[in-house]
Amino acid sequence: MAASSSLDDLSHRLLGKSPGELNDEQRRVLAGIEAGTTVSRDAADLADERATFGERLSDRVAAVGGSWGFIIAFTAVLLGWMILNSDILTHFNAAFDPYPYIFLNLLLSTVAAIQAPIIMMSQNRQSAKDRLAASLDYETNLRAELDILRVHHKIDHLVLARLDAIEGKIDALAKSGAGA
């Protein structure tokens, strides 16, 4: 019960809210302050830990499909296909996909139909990573702000204690000077 009352005290003193009004991030920050632990975490590591096989696969497909290596290799394959079916195999009457390359168009449409949603899944995952990073940044910033407030409170109390001590000495000097 002491931990709960300490959390209540921190909640009221630092945030001016009751514990019931706190969101999850604020609770984690106050619990970290109370326990004396850090709140900084790497969003990329955390997102990678939570990633499913499908999410990791979509990231890899998007990384390969969005690279210059893929564009160059894909262009080479397309040019090779066209040259093979237009020049080389037509001389032997063996072109399996002569101009206008209907089978090639079907393959390109299929690749585009599959690749587009996979890349969109990867973009959605990146958006989720960005939201997670923003949430972790908020927690870190809140922790830093609250720690600064706590340091200010401590300094204020120390300054007030020193002022009280100085006033006590001045009063004592004034009394001893008045009695002399």
Distance CA 10, CA 34 (A): 8
Q: Per-residue pLDDT for 103 more than 70?
A: yes
Among residues of the chain, what percentage have pLDDT more than 70?
96
* pLDDT class of 3 with cuts at 50, 70, 90: low
Greater model confidence, 4 or 59: 59
Q: Are 55 and 119 in contact (CB under 8 A)?
A: no
Model pLDDT, residue 25: 84
The size of the chain, in residues, is 180
Structure tokens at 58: 């979509």
Inter-CA distances, 147 with 16, 32, 37, 42, Å? 15, 11, 12, 20
Quote the mean pLDDT of the chain: 88
pTM above 0.75, yes or no: no
Q: Are 83 and 97 in contact (CB under 8 A)?
A: no
Among residues of the chain, what percentage have pLDDT more than 90?
42
Buried b (16+ CB within 10 A) or exposed e, 137-157: eebeebbeebeeeeeeeeeee
Contacts of 16 (CB under 8 A, 6+ apart): none
* Mean pLDDT within 96-123: 92
